[in-house]
Amino acid sequence: MAGAESQGFNDFVGMRIVEAGADSVELSLTIEPRHHQVHGIVHGGVWCTLIETAASIGAGVWLGDAGDAVGVSNQTDFLRVMRTGTATARATPIHRGRRQQLWLVVITDDEGERVVARGQVRIQNVESARGLGVADVS
C-alpha cells in the first residue's frame, strides 16, 4: 500500500493498524485526553477519522495498482460515550465495483461488545490521485 511507511495524520491521532487486507481492516486507538471534546468524551471527529481511515486502507489494498482509492462520503453515527480505554475499528466491504466502493466500519470499546460508533464510507476508484486538488492554471 502506497504511503504505508509514513502514516502522517494517522500517527498524529495515535491510531495503529492491526490488520490491513482487501476484505477486512482493523485499527486500534488508545483514548487519551487529547481525543476528548469539552465534556471529557471522545470527539466525534475522532470516530470519523477512524472510520474514514479504515475504509480507505481496505479500499486501497483491494484496488491495488489499478489506481487510487479516495473517500467521497463519510456518514458516521455516534452511539455511545467513551472516555478511556482502547477503541477498535473494523472495516468490511459492502460493495466493490469498477468506479466506487462502499465500506462499513464498526467501532467497539475495550470489550468488543459495545458499539460506540458506526459508519460507512463511499470510495471513488480513480486512475491517479496525484492531480487532485491542484489548480488548473492553463
pTM score, whole prediction: 0.88
Examine residue 2 and state whether it is found in any structural domain, yes or no: no
Decide if pLDDT at 102 tops 60: yes
Q: What is the DSSP string of 12-41?
A: HHT-EEEEE-SS-EEEEEE--GGGB-TTSS
pLDDT at residue number 1: 44
* Structural domains in the chain (count): 1
Listed residue (103, 102, 98) closest to 127, CA to CA? 98
Mean pLDDT for 19-43 is 97
Decide if pLDDT at 7 tops 80: no
CB-based contact 58:122 (threshold 8 Å): no
Examine residue 98 and state whether it is found in any structural domain, yes or no: yes
Decide if pLDDT at 55 tops 50: yes
Distances (CA, A) of 6 to 2, 98, 109: 9, 28, 27
Examine residue 40 and state whether it is found in any structural domain, yes or no: yes
Examine residue 131 and state whether it is found in any structural domain, yes or no: no
Examine residue 41 and state whether it is found in any structural domain, yes or no: yes
Q: Please tell me which residue, 130 or 91, carries the higher pLDDT value.
A: 91
Examine residue 4 and state whether it is found in any structural domain, yes or no: no
Q: Residue 117: give the domain boundaries.
A: 10-126
Task: Compute the mean pLDDT over every residue in the chain, rounded to the nearest whole number.
Answer: 91
Examine residue 1 and state whether it is found in any structural domain, yes or no: no
Place 130 in a pLDDT band, splitting at 50, 70 and 90: confident
Examine residue 135 and state whether it is found in any structural domain, yes or no: no
Identify the CATH number of the domain in which residue 95 sits: 3.10.129.10
Could you tell me if residue 67 is left (phi over 0), alpha (psi between -120 and 50 degrees) or otherwise beta?
A: left
